[in-house]
């Protein structure tokens, strides 16, 4: 994997393409230079550059992914003063980390040639039915209640037929998925057991860059693997992480994360969960992302109670303006509109039948305020939308052809097809 220097001018609104490999590891790769590279969606579907449910086809061999190890020189200094701090964390939390094996049956794609009438003369109805295959997935999770409630990533268990949960002590249970939330990639699984060791959740709002980060999980099928590093950054927007369809401000870490780590905990030096390991950057090393513990708790509570989470939805594509982007847009005759503003958030596209469309928002509008709050990036608007309730009104102040316009947008729930299909 090759490292790439980030584009600091557009880092808050970068858009990336998603490439799905056979092992269900979605690798985030930068797109070529274009206006579309700067677009950020507030339609919020379900695609993600994940560390993988590590899905493999039935009977197919699993191949390890060779990576150059990322060495954190600070570990040596910490070990000299407190050589047992990671060991103690692992001893404390290790029994709460589980392995999740899942299976699902999918329709295998039939070769296009079989749709040719010539072949159908020989094979008849055999060409009409698509073959089915079983895919097996591997992920991690952690116990949050003594009666068997487990948190993992939605992409690990979404749409599966069976869930098998294995504890560190060797016991295995059939799991039941209480709910998944593709918008934040959080899921809750329940097993019938009692007196289980539960983790302690921390307040992720208090996490600071430079703090220790310890990951426990089952990367590439290697159970109970421990890696350590630091919290590299906090409040990484989904756009910066390369997954703009998620509503998460991620923790960034350099602790090694690989396919199969998905759903495992990221811990502080006290053994408290600060996040859930979720995504990696394929074009870099030592850059992983975790969902903060406060987001996990908020979403998991709703999933455990009602099986679903409602997220407010507006339905626009948008990009932060700059003088350079303004010139680029105005010099392209195919855009269909001109931009007169140097700053603000440009509405590039309004989704059909969306709340924004119903309120009269148009492509080419430049948003300057939402509910009286100044906004200069797509991420700011996304946070405001996520922080509102379904059915709330958002007052949007904008410029349209040089004129001041104010609109009220009544938020709706994210359409189910967007959650399912991305």
User: Active-site residues: which are they?
Assistant: 155, 185, 262
Bridge partners, 190 (sequence order): 149, 176
Nearest to 288 by CA among 224, 378, 219: 219
Question: At 324, which helix (H) or strand (E)?
Answer: helix 323-330
Decide: 159 and 282 in contact? Cβ < 8 Å.
Answer: no
Q: Is 214 helix (H, G, I), strand (E, B) or coil?
A: strand
Exposed e or buried b per residue across 191-227, where buried means at least 16 C-beta atoms within 10 angstroms of its C-beta: beeeebbbbebbebeebeeeebbbbbbbbbeeeebbb
Decide: 273 and 293 in contact? Cβ < 8 Å.
Answer: yes
As a whole number of angstroms, the distance between CA 18 and CA 31 comes to: 10
Q: Is 187 helix (H, G, I), strand (E, B) or coil?
A: strand
166-171 contacts at long range (C-beta below 8 A, 24 or more positions apart): 166/98, 166/99, 166/100, 166/101, 166/223, 167/95, 167/98, 167/196, 168/94, 168/95, 168/97, 168/98, 168/223, 168/224, 169/95
Tokens of 235: 């409040």
Bridge partners, 350 (sequence order): 316
Q: Is 411 helix (H, G, I), strand (E, B) or coil?
A: coil
As a whole number of angstroms, the distance between CA 100 and CA 274 comes to: 21
- CB count within 10 Å of CB 58 equals 10
As a whole number of angstroms, the distance between CA 260 and CA 288 comes to: 13
Question: At 319, which helix (H) or strand (E)?
Answer: strand 316-320
As a whole number of angstroms, the distance between CA 257 and CA 216 comes to: 9
């Amino acid at each position: 994997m090759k490292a790439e220097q980030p584009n600091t001018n557009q880092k808050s609104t970068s858009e990336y393409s998603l490439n799905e490999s056979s092992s269900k590891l979605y690798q985030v790769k930068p797109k070529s230079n274009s206006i579309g590279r700067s677009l950020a969606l507030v339609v919020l579907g379900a695609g993600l550059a994940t560390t993988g449910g590590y899905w493999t086809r039935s009977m197919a061999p699993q191949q390890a992914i060779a990576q150059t190890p990322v060495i954190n020189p600070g570990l040596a200094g910490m070990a000299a003063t407190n050589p047992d701090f990671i060991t103690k964390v692992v001893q404390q939390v290790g029994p709460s980390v589980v392995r999740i094996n899942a299976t699902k049956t999918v329709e295998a794609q039939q070769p296009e040639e079989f749709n040719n009438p010539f072949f159908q003369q020989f094979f008849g109805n055999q060409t009409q039915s698509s073959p089915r295959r079983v895919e097996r997935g591997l992920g991690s999770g952690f116990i949050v209640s003594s009666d068997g409630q487990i948190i993992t990533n939605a992409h690990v268990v979404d749409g599966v037929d069976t869930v098998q949960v294995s504890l560190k002590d060797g016991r295995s249970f059939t799991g039941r998925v209480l709910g998944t939330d593709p918008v934040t990639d959080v899921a809750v699984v329940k097993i019938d057991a009692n007196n289980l060791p539960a983790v302690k959740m921390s307040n992720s709002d208090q996490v600071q860059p430079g703090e220790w980060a310890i990951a426990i999980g089952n990367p590439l099928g290697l159970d109970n693997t421990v890696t350590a590093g630091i919290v590299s950054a906090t409040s990484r927007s989904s756009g910066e992480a390369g997954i703009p369809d998620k509503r998460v401000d991620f923790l960034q870490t350099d602790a090694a994360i690989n396919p199969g780590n998905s759903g495992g905990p990221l811990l502080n030096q006290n053994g408290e969960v600060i996040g859930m390991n979720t995504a990696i950057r394929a074009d870099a090393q030592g850059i992983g992302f975790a969902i903060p513990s406060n987001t996990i708790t908020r979403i998991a509570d709703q999933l455990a109670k009602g099986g679903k989470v409602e997220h407010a939805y507006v339905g626009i594509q948008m990009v932060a303006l700059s003088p350079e982007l303004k010139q680029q847009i105005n010099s392209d005759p195919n855009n269909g509109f001109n931009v007169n503003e140097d700053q603000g958030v440009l509405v590039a596209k309004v989704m059909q039948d969306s709340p924004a469309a119903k309120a009269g928002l148009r492509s080419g509008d430049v948003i300057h305020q939402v509910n009286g709050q100044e906004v200069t990036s797509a991420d700011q608007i996304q946070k405001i939308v996520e922080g509102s309730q379904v059915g709330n009104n958002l007052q949007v102040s904008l410029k349209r052809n040089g004129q001041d316009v104010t609109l009220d947008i009544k938020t709706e729930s994210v359409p189910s097809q967007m959650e399912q299909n991305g």
